Structures are given as structure tokens and as C-alpha cells.
Amino acid sequence: MSKDNLLNLLEAEAGKYVSGEEISQKLQVSRTAVWKKIRKLTSEGYIIEAVPRLGYRLSGKPSHLSVHELLPKLNTKSFGRALHLLDVVPSTQDEVRRLADQGAAEGTLVIAEQQTKGRGRMGRSWASPKGKGIWMSLLLRPPVPLPLTPQLTLLAAVALSRGISRLVPITIGIKWPNDLLVNGKKISGILLESAAEDERLRYVIVGMGISVNLDPEDYPEELLEKAISLKMASGAVIDRSELIAVILEEFERLYALYLEQGFAPIRSLWEAHSVTLNNHTVLNTPQGQVQGIPRELDDMGGLRIELEDGSFKTIYSAVIDS
Ligand code: BTN
């Protein structure tokens, strides 16, 4: 008997007591073996009530992610099928890079409960407290020219936004290029890193950080003005495995659409979710500050800004502060 069989049996009874006798008959094992497995599950954080003459009842699950919980929820062909669930790592980006260099398949996913050196865009750090968020990196091997990789950043933002909206009743806006905001506060960030050889794209690592069940005390005070978690925004604790599953499903679907039809449909979806378009914006680019009104995306994924004199400038890399 594996502990998964026992867990499936208790879960199938949905909160009802199952006697030790019934378990041992159904799983064809001794009562002692049942007891040992129950102890193993409780040591992993499952809450199992044991009542004489009634039996066992599953009344709580560990708050950490488990492959057992996640895999049955996945509704994808390749995304997340090679799944590495880790406890503490410096950054999931580095884990995926190592796997990619060893030939890992597209869709390989690394998730960590905690990152000690999580990183964000523009060399910033990314706080990743234990068990509270989704800190994950996905490997893609897109057959596209290197200069088009920014399009995948925008695609990732749409996928996350659609995935979250399926589970959590909140309105999400995308700030260019890929910050997800709720009421102007950031709930998620995406970091795209790529590897190329002789100007040819080898792979892309899409790093996704989603503040799921963080509480106000998990944030440094100065960040509370700018950041929020899904739990704080919606008032409910969110099941992280379910959220990962719907995000991967949306991501895989949009990625297939992109490979088939190109950037145009992604661009329209991004524009529909954007909170940057048509609002006066200050952009800090590597070449200096640019101010104006972003009007649309260009074919590569750059942002077309209408300047004060009516001319247009396209920006490919910038930080927007507010
Ligand atoms: C940003 O908004 O600046 C991007 C943040 C990206 C954070 C994620 S968490 C998982 C992955 N691992 C990292 O070190 N960073 C990304």
C-alpha cells in the first residue's frame, strides 16, 4: 500500500470517518500497516482524526505544495509534466537553467516553497517567503527569432492574468510589460531570461512570482503601499495547487495560439487587460526618462508612446514607477 492509496481513499470519503477495518480490507493490508501510514501522513502535515469505533477522518491538508495534490489537477500536455517541487532554493530560475542545459524538455517546471535569492527585473531582488506564494519557473524552447522574445513576456502576463481571474474574483490590470496589478498594487511579477547561441534562441525561462497568501506582516512596511497579495485583495485563502494548474492551462493554450497564429491575438488580449495604455506615463529607460501617453504595442511587443509634440517613440525596455 502506498500512502497515496490511503490518502485517495480518505479523500474520496470527503470528511467522513472510515474504519480501520474498511481501510485494511480495501487496501489489502494489516491494521498495523494502516496505522503506520496514518502516522506518516500526519507527520507530513495532514490532519487525520482517529476516533475509536468510528475510524479515521481527513480534516486538513498540509499547507505546503505536493506533487500528489498538483499532478491530478493538471490539465496540460507538456507544461508542468516534468515537475520539480523543491523546498528552499536560491532561485528557481537557476534550477531551470541547469535542467535546460542538461537537455530538459519544454514545459519543465520548477516550483519552490521559498527562495533565498529570488530576483526580479532590472536587477531587483524578489522576496519569496516560505509557503505563501507561487515561486516558479517554466522552460520554453520557442522556435522564434531572438528579437521576438519580449513577446513571450507579454504572453506570460496575459496567461497569469487569465489564470488568476478563473479562481479569484478580482479585476487584474497589466502594467507594461508584465506586472499584474489589483487596484494599482502589484500582485505578481514575471522575469524572462533567455539563452542564445550565435544569435539563435536556445531557450527561455519564464519566472513567475505570485503573492498568493501573504499577510500584511509578510511585507516590509514601505512595500505595503505598492504590493498586495491575492488573499489580502480577495479576503480568502487561495489553494496554490489549483492556481498553478489553471495558470499552466492558460499558458499552454496561449502559447499554442502564439506558435500557430503569431503575436497578433496575444497583442489584442494584452491590450484589453492593460492599465498602461492611454494614461500619461513616465518611463525610466536605459537611455533616460521618456514621458507621454502609451497608445499601443508594436509588432515586436514594444510600447508606442505618443509624445507631447504628437510624434511617436517605441520603448522596448523601461521601468514605470507608479
Ligand atoms: C519582477 O516583477 O521584477 C519579476 C519578479 C519575478 C520573480 C520570480 S519568482 C520565481 C522566479 N525566480 C526568481 O528568482 N524570480 C522569478
Relative to the CA of 189, which ligand 1 atom is closest? 2
Atom of ligand 1 nearest to the CA of 118: 14
The alpha carbon of 206 and the centre of ligand 1 are apart by a number of angstroms equal to 9
Spell out which residues line ligand 1, taking CB within 6 angstroms: 91-93, 115, 118-121, 124, 126, 128, 135-137, 179, 189-191, 207-209
pLDDT at 45: 64
Coil/strand/helix, residue 308? coil
Of 195, 201, 93, 211, give the one whose Cα is nearest residue 160. 211
Check the annotation: does 61 bind a ligand: no
304 known member of a binding site? no
57 is in an annotated binding site: no
53 assigned ligand-binding residue: no
Distance 140 CA to ligand 1 centre (A): 16
Q: Three-state SS string across 28-91, please?
A: CCCHHHHHHHHHHHHHCCCEEEEECCCEEEEEECCCCCCHHHHHHHCCCCCCCCCEEEEEEECC
CATH 1.10.10.10 positions along the chain are: 3-60
Give the residue, out of 180, 208, 321, with the most ligand 1 atoms within 8 A of its beta carbon, to mutate for a pocket test.
208
Per-residue pLDDT reduced to its tens digit, 240-262: 999 999 999 999 999 999 999 99
Q: DSSP letter at 104? A: P
ipTM over 0.90: yes
Taking a C-beta distance cutoff of 8 angstroms, is the pair 150, 83 a contact?
Answer: no
DSSP per-residue codes, 135-173: EEEEEE---S-GGGTHHHHHHHHHHHHHHHHHHS----E
What is the tens place of the pLDDT at every residue in 83-140? 999 999 999 999 999 999 999 999 999 999 999 999 999 889 999 999 999 999 999 9
| Residue-wise burial string across 97-118, b where 16 or more C-beta atoms lie within 10 A, e elsewhere | bebbeeebebbbbbbbbbbeeb
Tens digit of each residue's pLDDT (9 = 90 or more) over 275-285? 999 999 999 99
120 is in an annotated binding site: yes
How far is the C-alpha of 175 from the C-alpha of 180, rounded, in Å? Answer: 6
Q: Which atom of ligand 1 is nearest to 122's Cα?
A: 3
pLDDT, position 69: 87
- The cell for 90 is 536560491
What whole-number percentage of the chain has pLDDT above 90? 76
Tell me which of 98, 128, 185, 192 to substitute to probe ligand 1's pocket, judged by most ligand atoms within 8 Å of the beta carbon. 128
Q: Which CATH class is domain 67-273?
A: alpha beta
Residues 204, 124 contacting (CB under 8 angstroms):
no
Mutation test residue for ligand 1: of 178, 191, 206, 210, the one with most atoms within 8 Å of CB? 191
Domain 281-320 has CATH 1.10.150.120: no
**Which residues make up the CATH 2.30.30.100 domain(s) of the chain?**
281-320
Fold of 3-60: Arc Repressor Mutant, subunit A (1.10.10)
State mean pLDDT over 45-64: 82
Q: Which of 269, 87, 63, 261 is nearest to 162 (CA)?
A: 269
Q: Where in the chain is the domain with CATH 3.30.930.10?
A: 67-273
Nearest to 291 by CA among 277, 305, 310, 271: 305
> Separation of 171 CA from ligand 1 center, angstroms?
22
> pTM of this prediction?
0.83
